[in-house]
Amino acid sequence: MQSITERQIKSLCQAEDYRNGESYFKQNKVTDTWQTEDSLHALVAGSGDKPYQVSVRLDGVTLVPRCTCPAHRRRPFCKHVAATLIAWARVPERFTLREAATAPSVESRPRRAPKPKSDARQVQLEGLDKVEVLLVELATYGLLAPTEAHATRVNDLAHAVESHKLRRLARLVGRLGGMLEAAVKNARSLDETAYAELLADAWLTLQATRRALTDPSADPTSLEDLVGKTWREGDLERRERVRLVELSYETVTLDTGFIVDTSYLLALDDGALYTEKQIVPAQLKKQPRKASYNGRLEGSIGLYPGAAPRRIKLLAVSEAPLTAHDWQQALIYAERSTANLFRQFQAVAADPLALPEACAFFAPARCWVDGGEVYLMDAEGQAIALAEGWRIQSVLTRRPIAALFGRMAVEEGVLRLTPLSLVTALPEAERVRV
């Protein structure tokens, strides 16, 4: 097997996976290492009961990794693969030479029979029990002396929880692991306030997830976000003859290794705000991406359970060119009072499980620029500040704005609107992405 440099390994792995892989190597978690003429093999201890089996095969000039951990499906060069490659780069003499037929490789090992579906919920509950033990430990000892091993354990659990589709809890545990890892790496104390808030959020999410899984009377609308429930088309609430315009289109790469493409759609008949999403693993670069819509959508849709803005599935729709009349109709539903914007945000913030942000479609009476700050003012003279207002200053100097669409969130104690798009004034109204 040809040699590899650590720079090459870093180029193949995500930064977090490389750091965790290096930590695994230093903790001697890479064992039973061997090689053939064109492949590497190892066992790497992780969060599971048994070590993960890793192989890296050379196919021409391309390295093809394999690992039995859950994260490998999303990130082929996971931390266990990274640990194996780091071991090969630093101590290649540990990889004994064998013939491929003398030992089973990961590719040739027999597949395990899938677990019965009835066991999935029990596995999720067991995952919740592990997180509960961890949160109690972090609340008790996390501020005293975080160690690299401690951070690695938290990150391992985050990956394990994510593999059981406990989505929100996995994100929070991962953030806790990242906070501990940063504290260890930079040799500084944790931010006590941020740490306490994150622990509280994780604890509330843990209890809400447990209730969603065990209490038949629990609100099912939380299942998609908390548990990663997959809804069938028959579960969706069907709406016919819906007319939609896209207010904004956004692409976000999550720290869990997924790319989320989102269209924010406004219903022209009642002003309801919907989202249409496509979520794909980041490594599937050839996967066709969800399109943005430049025209008016008409037809039938299915509504997923959940909080506003409701996620939808386009069932049978056609797209027609947008007209000035369509934008005139859309602007009827734009909010014109900043006081109402604050009330909308307060309603979202009152839910401890909701994300501390809310979408807003706002038509200001005028815009006020003060140095680097941009404010949107209503007819009463009340204003809301824009986050990153510099993004639209060039548009403000060229064309009047009819409305802005974005997300409201508190930044440094101030409620701000982060613009995602804007609609220019009639009669030549058009959407401008920010």
Long-range contacts of residues 318-321, Cβ cutoff 8 Å, at least 24 apart: 319/293, 319/295, 320/295, 320/296, 321/295, 321/296
User: How confident is the model at residue 110, as a pLDDT?
Assistant: 47
pLDDT above 50 (res 321): yes
Whole-angstrom distance between the N-terminal and C-terminal Cα of the chain?
49
Overall average pLDDT of the 233-246 stretch: 93
- Among candidate residues 283, 290, 285, the one with its CA nearest the CA of residue 312: 290
Report how far residue 264's alpha carbon sits from residue 300's, in angstroms, rounded to the nearest whole number: 17
Residue of higher predicted confidence among 76 and 109? 76
Residue 204: left (phi > 0), alpha (psi -120 to 50), or beta?
alpha
- Among candidate residues 89, 92, 47, 84, the one with its CA nearest the CA of residue 69: 47
What lies within 8 Å, CB to CB, of 371 at 6+ separation is none
Can you point out the beta strands (E) in 254-295? 258-267, 273-281
Report how far residue 386's alpha carbon sits from residue 354's, in angstroms, rounded to the nearest whole number: 22
Q: What is the pLDDT of residues 391-409, one digit of tens each?
A: 788 888 788 899 999 999 8
Helix %, strand %, coil % of the chain (to 5)? 40, 30, 35
Question: What is the pTM assigned to this prediction?
Answer: 0.62
Overall average pLDDT of the 226-243 stretch: 84
Report the 10 Å Cβ neighbour count for 393: 13
Q: How confident is the model at residue 100 (pLDDT cuts 50, 70, 90)?
A: low
Residue 318 near residue 299, CB atoms below 8 Å = yes
